[in-house]
Amino acid sequence: MKNHGGKRQGAGRPKGTGAYGKATKVMRVPEDKAEDVKAFLTSGAQYSIPLYEGTVSAGTPFGVTDHVDRKLDLNEHLIKTPSATFFVRAAGKSMLNAGIDEGDLLVVDRSLDVKNGKIIIAVVNGDLTVKRYQRFGDKVTLIAENDDFEDIVLSDGEELDTWGVVTNIIKGV
């Protein structure tokens, strides 16, 4: 009788010869996230960027150093709760005085509590907006950070659905 199946010495693909060039591990991932995980793995993205020692002058130039102090992982600085964080691009000029310009990429954390003075992403009566949140008693005001724009004062019966708190702004040059 021949022995079929089971584990055989030397069978299978040698370790480190697959698509990733190293040993792999089987993981369970929600089906709706599988393509995102594949894209992440195949992107070849660099996870850390050199952080040079010292500072750079915004005034009179001074001596230069080319010593890399350490590697900087932007996720570590920009994203505290990855599972609750998303990005959204700003449109319009109502938040200029808060440093939010047209086209800026906003880092938004859904896990943070909405508190007075925080800049939030919210839906007001079906419209998406970014404003500074202010609550006095039962009165909620979404403050525009540009005098050319009106604040949004919520009346009784108006719905406010908060999407999260803006934690960082990523700007282009």
- Number of Cβ within a 10 Å radius of residue 102: 11
Size of the chain, expressed as the number of residues it contains: 173
Q: Which of 33, 83, 94, 139 is catalytic?
A: 94
With b for 16 or more beta-carbon neighbours within 10 A and e for fewer, the 26-35 pattern comes to eeeeeeeeee
Q: Are 141 and 151 in contact (CB under 8 A)?
A: yes
Q: Which of 22, 83, 111, 131 is catalytic?
A: 131
Is 94 catalytic? The answer is yes
Q: Are 120 and 162 in contact (CB under 8 A)?
A: yes
Q: Which sequence positions are flagged as catalytic?
A: 94, 131
